[in-house]
Structure 1
Amino acid sequence: MIEKAKNIIAGLFWKFVLFLVVYGVRTYLLVVYRPKMTFLGSVKSTDLKEPMIIIANHTSMLDPLMVQSLFFHKRSIVVAKDQVEDPHFSWALKRFKNVIPCDRFNLDTEWALLAKKELEKGNSVIIFPEGKCRYDGLLNEFKTGFAFLARSTGYPVLSLGIDGIYKMGHRTQILVDEPEKIERVKGIPSSKHLAERSEYFRQKVWELKQRALGQTGAILPVATETPAEVLPEESK
């Protein structure tokens, strides 16, 4: 009985801690960076009428927190499995019910099954298709997982473009485009088809990001021609 009582108390304690963390981080992001959302299509609010697959560019480690803070209700997020298992983050991520771990270094299909269940429960799924941050202004190749999920489930893809600027005195700009479904094809979708759709949405997100930055005319090379990012220490 004593052990059971201890477990109950420990569970309540962690729930309280996570409550403080979630609402504390959300309040900080919304107050300090004052995100301004511009809706370009039929979606006019973060209160989505149907579950969607939400994708965005990944310029900062704050991007996932910001998107979750804006689409705060009825949503899950795909997170790299190695981050979920990282001792710096695991204490929190493993306790969040809305986290879907994905192994980005090996073939992993379990995450898609979990994401499908979340969509069927009415929860939108947030995915950053680049798989990691890129800091030189370009976009990495989009992994095809989100396209496979959208094609196989029939749920629409909602593209976001984030300017990626998080600093005092600047309102983080976020553009939200018209939701779009990926056409279903007979049988298992070919890797070529998924790659084409992924590149299409990559270019779409790029245009949204450029508009969020107030820039026009910049062309993003296709994924196969986009140079790899050169990190500062690599350029020495």
Structure 2
Amino acid sequence: MADQKTENSLYERLMRFFVIVVIYTVRYVFYIWFRPKVTFTDDSVRSTRLKSPAVIIANHTNMLDPIMMLAVFFYHRSIVVAKDQIEDPHFSWALKRAACVIPCDRFNLDTEWALIAKREIEKGNSVIIFPEGKCRDDGQLNEFKTGFAFLARSTGTPVISVGLDGIYKFGHRTQVVIGAAEKIERVKGIPSSKHLTERSEYFQKKIWKLKQQALGKSSEEVCP
């Protein structure tokens, strides 16, 4: 029994080391293959190596968006990932062993992810969230869920909005446009759903403009 536990422990350590190697390798492949061009639009954020934790939100156009965000914001960050994707046998071997992954059940009421995210922020790590909850590749945005607003408001952590062009192909430099760091005002007690919805709508419009800029389109176009 002791030998079996030793073998399992050794296996887990080797797998975790392998996952770390994969993460670093993927990051360099992304930088070489897609050559992301990062544009900053405000003096409050001038580097992706953030000096203090933030809630980082972005539009979700392509399944490669999470990898790109992890590659761009490489230091001291975690990312919220759908629980059903973590449990998918194609990805579970890596996602369950990646220390930066925060599971979230997007089909049921789930508050555990917010507690984990809060602990990550307290440790000095930023948290990456896709408020749409799923990809949308028709040029529009899904309605933003309010979880990111609740997390930012309850922790006093600033929100950094990111617009991605969602284009990943050889010969094209993936455009990443990073906006200002903005705080959501704290209120006494539990914030009302109306307050969180208003904040979510505000940041949805903001990310729409950043996404349009990443695509080289007019930012004056109104978010539908």
Q: What's the TM-score once normalised by structure 1's chain length? A: 0.91
Task: Tell me if 1:220 matches 2:210.
Answer: no
Task: Tell me if 1:34 matches 2:32.
Answer: no
Give the letter aligned to residue 81 of structure 1.
K
Segment of structure 1 superposing worse, 4-13 or 59-68 = 4-13
Partner SS, residue 86 of structure 1: coil
Give the letter aligned to residue 7 of structure 1.
N
How big is the shift at 1:66?
A: 0.4
Structure 1 unmatched ranges of 5 or more: 222-236
The answer as to whether partners of 2:20 and 2:98 remain within 8 angstroms in 1 is no
User: Which aligned pairs between 1:44-193 and structure 2 lie closer than 5 A?
Assistant: 44-193=46-195
Task: Tell me if 1:8 matches 2:17.
Answer: no
CA–CA distance in structure 1, aligned partners of residues 107 and 201 of structure 2? 20
CA–CA distance in structure 1, aligned partners of residues 108 and 20 of structure 2? 33
How big is the shift at 1:28?
A: 1.2
Segment of structure 1 superposing worse, 4-13 or 148-157 = 4-13
CA–CA distance in structure 2, aligned partners of residues 129 and 188 of structure 1? 20
Tell me the alpha carbon deviations over residues 189-216 of structure 1, each in whole angstroms, 9 at most, x when there is no partner.
Answer: 1111101100000000000000111100
How big is the shift at 1:3?
A: 2.4
CA–CA distance in structure 2, aligned partners of residues 20 and 114 of structure 1? 24
Supply the RMSD in Å over aligned alpha carbons.
1.1
Structure 1 equivalent of residue 25 of structure 2: 24
How big is the shift at 1:185?
A: 1.2
How big is the shift at 1:35?
A: 0.2
CA–CA distance in structure 2, aligned partners of residues 156 and 85 of structure 1? 31
The answer as to whether partners of 2:16 and 2:98 remain within 8 angstroms in 1 is no
Give the letter aligned to residue 214 of structure 2.
A
CA–CA distance in structure 2, aligned partners of residues 113 and 18 of structure 1? 25
How big is the shift at 1:70?
A: 1.1
How big is the shift at 1:106?
A: 0.9
Q: What's the TM-score once normalised by structure 2's chain length? A: 0.96
Partner SS, residue 176 of structure 1: strand
How big is the shift at 1:40?
A: 1.2
CA–CA distance in structure 1, aligned partners of residues 110 and 13 of structure 2? 33
Give the letter aligned to residue 185 of structure 2.
E
CA–CA distance in structure 2, aligned partners of residues 105 and 209 of structure 1? 26
Change (3 A) 1:12 1:186: closer
Structure 2 unmatched ranges of 5 or more: none
CA–CA distance in structure 2, aligned partners of residues 99 and 16 of structure 1? 16
Runs of 4+ in 1 over 6 A off after TM superposition: none
Structure 2 equivalent of residue 200 of structure 1: 202
Partner SS, residue 9 of structure 1: helix
Q: Percent identity?
A: 67
